[in-house]
Amino acid sequence: MKQLMKCVLLAAVSLFPLSASDSAKPIRLRVLSYNIHHAEGVDRKLDVERIARVILSVKPDIVALQEVDRKVKRTGGVDQPAELARLTEMNVVFGANIELQGGHYGNAVLSRFPIIRHKNNLLPNIDDGEQRGVIEAEITLPKSNRSLLLLATHLDYRADERERLASAKFINELIADHPQHPALLAGDLNATPDSETLQLFGTKWTRANEKPMATVPVNQPTKQIDFILHRLANRWKVVEVKVQDEAVASDHRAIFAVLELQEDDE
């Protein structure tokens, strides 16, 4: 009789879908941000495959990449976004910010999940600095009818903070158009945790790591300028954050976070 009841229960589970409460488990995401220095390592070797191995070492779901070349002469005319997508078997979008040597230079996003919408926004440019941009990508979440907004960027490096502050204001205003949409911001912000730039971001975003985790210089890191931040703080739980122990493939170390997104009550 007990065996019969067990079979009946198993059959019932297979026939009827899970309830909303059963399906509302947190979605765990593995997120990486990496300034790849156009795939040129500190050993001066161009090696896109090496960059791909660093990415794959943490089995990420979503990756924000900075300093990416697409069909640029200095990197052999290789379409680095397409090649990294092939090597990692992920979806890709590229944000071209600068025309360079017959190609383009900018940021890229890799995603294990479908990217249903994306736009590259050029950021404020002050005193004819290097043109910067932020990719806005909407990514379908697994086992869910919802999506995530990822903003992937690389901010100005100069000592004068005006352009970074203007860019932070722009990005904060950009996300303000989506007040209830869970979002991540990842990239090389060229600013430290105690800077005005990070303080301005802090009015809208929460850093994945509360205490600084150095990412540069790559051989012996002393300061953090690469970040993963999240928005709608009550929806996110940080499971893990670490800086990758790899000091050759690029002039930055990659930062990696495991985050859990809790579904809302709708």
* pLDDT band at 23; cut points 50, 70, 90: low
Q: Is 154 left (phi over 0), alpha (psi -120 to 50) or beta?
A: beta
Q: Is residue 5 part of a domain?
A: no
Q: Is residue 18 part of a domain?
A: no
pLDDT at 13 over 60: no
Residue type, 74: R
Q: What is the mean pLDDT of residues 35-44?
A: 98
Dump strand ranges (E) for the chain.
Answer: 27-35, 62-70, 91-100, 103-111, 115-122, 133-140, 147-154, 183-188, 206-207, 226-231, 236-243, 255-261
The two three-digit tokens of residue 147, written as one number: 């999506």
- The beta-carbon contacts of 89-92 under 8 Å, at least 24 apart in sequence, are 90/63, 91/115
CB atoms within 10 A of CB 140: 15
Q: What is the mean pLDDT of residues 42-58?
A: 98
Distance CA 41, CA 246 (A): 11
Q: What is the mean pLDDT of residues 196-223?
A: 98
Q: Is residue 11 part of a domain?
A: no
Distance CA 156, CA 164 (A): 6
Q: Is residue 108 part of a domain?
A: yes
Distance CA 29, CA 256 (A): 11
244-266: per-residue pLDDT in tens? 999 999 999 999 999 999 977 54
Name the residue range of residue 248's domain: 28-261
pLDDT at 7 over 70: no
CB atoms within 10 A of CB 42: 14
Q: Is residue 198 part of a domain?
A: yes
Q: Is residue 4 part of a domain?
A: no
Task: Confirm if 151 and 123 have CB atoms less than 8 A apart.
Answer: no
Q: Is residue 53 part of a domain?
A: yes
The two three-digit tokens of residue 71, written as one number: 């069909």
Q: What is the pTM of this model?
A: 0.90
Task: Confirm if 84 and 65 have CB atoms less than 8 A apart.
Answer: yes
* Residues in a beta bridge with 137: 118, 150
- How many structural domains compose the chain? 1
Distance CA 266, CA 249 (A): 44
CATH of the domain at 42: 3.60.10.10
Q: Is residue 226 part of a domain?
A: yes
Considering the chain, what percentage of its residues have pLDDT values greater than 90?
Answer: 86
